[in-house]
Amino acid sequence: MNESRTRRAVAEVSRLLHERGWVANHDGNVSARVGPDRIVCTPTAISKRLIVEDLLIVVDAEGRLVAGRGRPFSEIGLHLAVYRARRDVGAVVHAHPPHATALGCAGRGIDAMPIAEAVVSLGERIPLVEYATPGPDAVKAVEPFLALHDALLLASHGTIAYGADPEVALLRTELVEHLSRILLCAAPLGGACALPPESVATLLQARAKAGIGPPGRR
């Protein structure tokens, strides 16, 4: 994807985060790597509803502003950590989708997927990253999870999901929120049933075979 198409995708995904109700106020941020030392991202302190291509900024691999008039957002360190850990990742979406964030605020990750397709798409589980103060501590907290997972729940914070391009990062965010909603709907009914372990193993094999993402813990 060239830089101008990527910029269009970043702006589109940003507006969608607002439209879906996955961010409020100035929350959330989207970035995409367009070169080894060039990352297009949303600027800080603006609603994702208002993001258009011209407002996007460019930072280098250290998070320093290279182009654009806005300022980098404070959570840029989380995005840079993903790019450092995963050469295959071209885009990162961080948001506060209410159902997924509710799980994270309750100190819960998704330890078992409630539906089969989700295992193929995102692996065996979506881990909860323990709360850490935003900044270097939060970066240190996510780092151990990045190699094996494509989406994480951040305790008392929100979600971070990443993939080859902004569309994939958005789809993964969408799936995390959808699964969280399913789990919360199932909770008053006695909770979602776990998938049979042998089926999970087969689904993980299918995931690895399709080259969708890291194979997960198994």
Residue 167 beta carbon to Zn ion: minimum distance, rounded to whole angstroms = 21
Q: Which one from 3, 62, 75, 117 is the annotated catalytic residue?
A: 75
Based on CB atoms, which residue is closest to Zn ion, 95 or 192? 95
Nearest residue to the partner Zn ion, using Cβ:
158
Strands (E) located in the chain: 29-35, 38-41, 57-59, 65-67, 91-95, 128-129, 151-154, 158-163
Return the residues of window 87-126 that contact Zn ion according to CB under 5 A.
Answer: none
Active site residue 117: no
Based on CB atoms, which residue is closest to Zn ion, 74 or 202? 74
Residue 111 beta carbon to Zn ion: minimum distance, rounded to whole angstroms = 23
Return the residues of window 138-167 that contact Zn ion according to CB under 5 A.
Answer: 158
d(CA 155, CA 106): 8
Question: What residue ranges bind Zn ion (CB under 5 A)?
Answer: 158
Annotated catalytic residues are 75
